[in-house]
Structures are given as structure tokens and as C-alpha cells.
């Protein structure tokens, strides 16, 4: 598998999944169930997962696939794998707030190297090109013909007036306590992996996450941010956030533009 082969496939699958998600989102009602970890799952999660998984297995049958909605994939290990969250931000979806995304990423040797984040309700698509540069595609988002893309890059932050983005559904006192260590000009909330993309485009300088996440929640956004010059580190010791961990569970982390003067936890 080459990056040149990968990027058109994951772009197309993200758009296909987005169409299916929006079809259900715009219906009068949809089914919501509760998984064993007490998190919600909708028919849109399951439909998007089936579509993406089938497409990736057909295109790249020799690459390990890890996906949120298929528990059997969570026990598999490999240095190189594709990792999918077919609908990141399920709570945003259920509450019809629009901040949900389709996330598909490639991880190599613990690092998310390529990925796509598509926010169908927002009409925004971010991905890494084959050369690793992160871009935002504009225009009609046609499935067969990629539109214009604009390279994105992180901000040159002003540490006396930072722009902070935090979780919309999971913000808590611990998050606020950490944010209060900084001199903040503006703070905004956003759902799903869009927070990584807001840092990647320079719309925010730092995104601290003091809460539970899984690797499928973060890998695609992490890849996009890295391709825009950003970094993602562990909250506790500021070492790089790595992937392929036991159970695919993440520690707390901070995503940021490198000019930010990081504070200790």
C-alpha cells in the first residue's frame, strides 16, 4: 500500500459514510442503543462502520483494521494498522448539534501518519495528502473529483493571549483548572475530532483533553494536526502520544501549536 493509493480511498469512504450519516441525521427519528461501556451508539455509527470497513478491507486486505464499532478488532495488534471511528461525536449527533466527524487514519510504528477528518454537517473536510501535508478541501466535496485544497498550518501563538478549544460534551472542572494556567484571549467549545482540526488551521492554539478517549477518537485528527505542524503529547509528562497501546486507550493529552508554552499538569 502506498500513500498515493491510500488517500483517495479514505477520502471517498469518508464522504460515502458522511452521506449515510446525514441521511439518518435528517430523519425524524433514529435508534440509539447503549454499549457495554455505557457510551451511546446509533444506527448511523453502525451503518457508517459497515460501509467504511467493507471499503478498507476490499482496498487493503493485508492491513490490520481496528474500528470502534467492532469489538473483535480491539484485541488485534500490529505495527501498521488502519483505525476508524465511523462517527466521532455521537452525543453531538444525538443532540443534533452538528459537531460530529468521520475519522479514518493510518498508524505506522505508533504514529498516525495519514488521516482524514470529515464533518458532514459542517461541510468541512481535512486530510493529509500523500506527501504528509495537511489540507482542507473546499468546494462541492465531489466523491469522484477532489476539489481545491488549501494547505493548513498551525498558528504562531501569542502566549499572552491564547486561543483555547475544549470538549463540548466532556468539559469538566479539571479541564478548566488546567486552562486557567494560561493567559487566554478566547475559549471555545467543539465536539469530536474537529478540535484537532481547529488547532491545525490556526483557529485555536491548544486543545487539552483531561478525560477518557480511545485511539480511534484521536488518530485521524492527530495525523491532520501533525501534517499542519502541530504536536500531541501526553498530559502527564509531555512525551509524544503514541498508538497501538493495550486496549487502544489513551492517557490524557494536549494538542497544540509548538509555539505554546506548555504548562505542567
State how far the alpha carbon of 166 is from the alpha carbons of 114, 179, 210, in Å: 23, 9, 10
The contacts found for 236-243 with CB under 8 angstroms, 24 or more apart, are 236/265, 238/262, 240/111, 242/110, 242/111, 243/83, 243/107, 243/110, 243/111, 243/112, 243/215, 243/219
- Residue entry with cell 468546494: 139
Contacts of 42 (CB under 8 A, 6+ apart): 24, 30, 31, 32, 33, 87, 90, 93, 94
Annotated binding site for substrate: 68, 87-90, 217
3-25 vs 43-59: helix axis angle to the nearest 10?
160
Q: What share of the chain is helix, strand, coil (3-state, %, to 5)?
A: 30, 30, 40
Q: How far apart are CA 135 and CA 255, in angstroms?
A: 18
Annotated binding site: 68, 85, 87-90, 217
Annotated binding site for Mg(2+): 68, 85, 87-88, 217
Amino acid at each position: 500500500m502506498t500513500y498515493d493509493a491510500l488517500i483517495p480511498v479514505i477520502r471517498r469512504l469518508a464522504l460515502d459514510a458522511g452521506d449515510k450519516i446525514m441521511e439518518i441525521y435528517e430523519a425524524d427519528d433514529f435508534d440509539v442503543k447503549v454499549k457495554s461501556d455505557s457510551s451511546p451508539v446509533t444506527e448511523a455509527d453502525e451503518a457508517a462502520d459497515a460501509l467504511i470497513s467493507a471499503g478498507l478491507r476490499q482496498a487493503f486486505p493485508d492491513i490490520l483494521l481496528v474500528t470502534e464499532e467492532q469489538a473483535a478488532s480491539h484485541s488485534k495488534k500490529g505495527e501498521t494498522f488502519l483505525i476508524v471511528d465511523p462517527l466521532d461525536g455521537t452525543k453531538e449527533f444525538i443532540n443534533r448539534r452538528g459537531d460530529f466527524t468521520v475519522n479514518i487514519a493510518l498508524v505506522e510504528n505508533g504514529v498516525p501518519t495519514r488521516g482524514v477528518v470529515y464533518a458532514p454537517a459542517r461541510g468541512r473536510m481535512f486530510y493529509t495528502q500523500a506527501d504528509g501535508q495537511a489540507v482542507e478541501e473546499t468546494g462541492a466535496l465531489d466523491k469522484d473529483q477532489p476539489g481545491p485544497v488549501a494547505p493548513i498550518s498551525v498558528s504562531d501563538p501569542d502566549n499572552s493571549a491564547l486561543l483555547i478549544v475544549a470538549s463540548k460534551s466532556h468539559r469538566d472542572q479539571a479541564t478548566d483548572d488546567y486552562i486557567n494556567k494560561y493567559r487566554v484571549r478566547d475559549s471555545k467549545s467543539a465536539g469530536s475530532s474537529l478540535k484537532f482540526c481547529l488547532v491545525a488551521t490556526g483557529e485555536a492554539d491548544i486543545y487539552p483533553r483531561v478525560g477518557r478517549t480511545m485511539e480511534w477518537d484521536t488518530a485521524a485528527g492527530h495525523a491532520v494536526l501533525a501534517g499542519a505542524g502541530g504536536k500531541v503529547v501526553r498530559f502527564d509528562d509531555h512525551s509524544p502520544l503514541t498508538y497501538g497501546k493495550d486496549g487502544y486507550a489513551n492517557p490524557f493529552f494536549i494538542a497544540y501549536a509548538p509555539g505554546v508554552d506548555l504548562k505542567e499538569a
